[in-house]
Amino acid sequence: MVAGAGVLVLLVAAIRYRNSNTCKGWHVTIDGESMPRGRLFIDRKGIADLLISAGADKEHGRAIQTFDLRRLESALKKDIWIKDAQLFFDNNGILQVRVTERTPVARIFTRDGNSFYIDSTGVPLPLQDKFASRLPVFTGYPASKFRTKSEDSALSAGILRLSIFLRSVPFWMAQIAQVDITPEKNFELEPEIGDQRISFGDGNDIAAKFHRLYLFYSEVLSHVGMDKYDRIDISYAGQVVGRIKGPAQNRIDSLRGIDNIRQMIRSAQQLQPDTARQQHIRPLEDHNAMTEQNLANYDLVPNAGDSSATVPNAKPAAAPAAKPRKPRAILPPKP
């Protein structure tokens, strides 16, 4: 008991000594994901201005106990770009200001013409004129504000998952120009290379869908060109449905498209050197020559992570060919 009382007395004395000490200055630390070239949406000067407006001026010799740290933290958190703020004095009398910045993960365009950023928790953020951040773009959001607790909550959650996935894979971040939201609240992708529309479905099984799309690029479009299909559907589990364009095609554009898609595949392999998963993906039959007839025999089913639900008996849109068919086949499951 005597030892405990002694420790308590020393602690109270240390606190009183620190509070009677004076502020020697500030040190501001901004945590969170920074923008390219170190640019942030809120800088140290902006934080200092907020602190001064809240009454935390740098008056020389001001006692530490006169600082209301809770009120200063609340004043900082009122800024939309500040996710969290913690203030404390260290043993040297320096006010440590640690701020966590909100980081945009996507840009939203609503149907009524509004545009804003959202962070990883779905908080809407205003646009910044002085910064042009490279983010996934979603168009056609049905509401004027981003809603996570309403009838659009499933759509909003899908947007967050899809945007986080795109930003984590540089290849798809470069290839997907924008994501359109359909009236049925599904997603359609617009690629940078190629003019076809990609039906993505909802925001579930994202990795498996992009895996099937990558296989379609590498095993089909790299041989027939980007102008072969005008629509690609990857929304159904275990298959890819391609709608063939009309018979009139420009051979020069087709050859140029083949070269573009092969270059894109080479870039993807350089960005993602780990290709162990795709080493087991091969056609059921070994064809030496790539022809229009054997393209339909290539596997478009991912090794793992795909949904096992039964695929609905959906038919692709009618193609101008005499006998339209789905370019799908099945491979053995991943060992």
Domain end: 62, 83, 101, which one?
Answer: 101
Write out the two tokens for 207: 């990795």
In a domain, 222, yes or no: yes
**Arithmetic mean of pLDDT, 263-292:** 46
Determine the 3-state secondary structure of 2 from DSSP: helix
In a domain, 283, yes or no: yes
CATH number at residue 59: 3.10.20.310
pTM over 0.75, yes/no = no
In a domain, 241, yes or no: yes
Q: What is the DSSP track for 52-64?
A: HHTT----TT-BG
Instruction: Report pLDDT digits (tens) over 167-226.
Output: 999 999 999 999 999 999 999 999 988 888 999 999 999 999 999 999 998 888 888 877
Range from 110-114, 128-132, 171-175, 299-303 carrying the lowest mean pLDDT = 299-303
Write out the two tokens for 114: 């509004």
Look up the domain containing 24 and give its range: 19-101
Domain end: 40, 66, 101, which one?
Answer: 101
Instruction: Please say if the pLDDT value at position 231 is more than 70.
Output: yes
In a domain, 243, yes or no: yes
pLDDT at 149: 80
User: Cβ neighbours of residue 294 under 8 Å, at least 6 residues apart?
Assistant: 283, 285, 287
Cα-based torsion angle of the residue sequence 138, 139, 144, 146 in order, rounded to the nearest 10 degrees = -10
**Arithmetic mean of pLDDT, 326-335:** 42
Instruction: Report pLDDT digits (tens) over 52-101.
Output: 888 777 555 678 878 888 999 999 999 999 999 999 888 888 889 999 98
In a domain, 151, yes or no: no
Domain end: 43, 72, 101, which one?
Answer: 101
Q: Between the ranges 72-81, 121-130, 306-315, where is the mean pLDDT highest? A: 72-81
Q: Comparing 169 with 327, which gets the higher pLDDT?
A: 169
In a domain, 9, yes or no: no
Range from 31-35, 150-154, 287-291 carrying the lowest mean pLDDT = 287-291
pLDDT at 82: 92
pLDDT at 234: 94
User: Cβ neighbours of residue 257 under 8 Å, at least 6 residues apart?
Assistant: 193, 194, 221, 225, 226, 227
Determine the 3-state secondary structure of 323 from DSSP: coil
Range from 18-32, 61-75, 230-244 carrying the lowest mean pLDDT = 18-32
Instruction: Please say if the pLDDT value at position 142 is more than 70.
Output: yes
pLDDT at 198: 94
Total domains in the fold of the chain: 2
319: nearest Cα among 256, 233, 261, 253: 233
Instruction: Give the DSSP letter of residue 277.
Output: G
pLDDT at 268: 59
Per-chain mean pLDDT for the chain? 75
Question: CA-CA distance, 214 to 25, in Å (whole number)?
Answer: 54
Q: Comparing 253 with 243, which gets the higher pLDDT?
A: 243
Neighbours of 101 (CB within 10 A): 21
Question: CA-CA distance, 114 to 300, in Å (whole number)?
Answer: 38
In a domain, 10, yes or no: no
Does residue 335 share a domain with residue 218?
A: yes
pLDDT at 258: 57
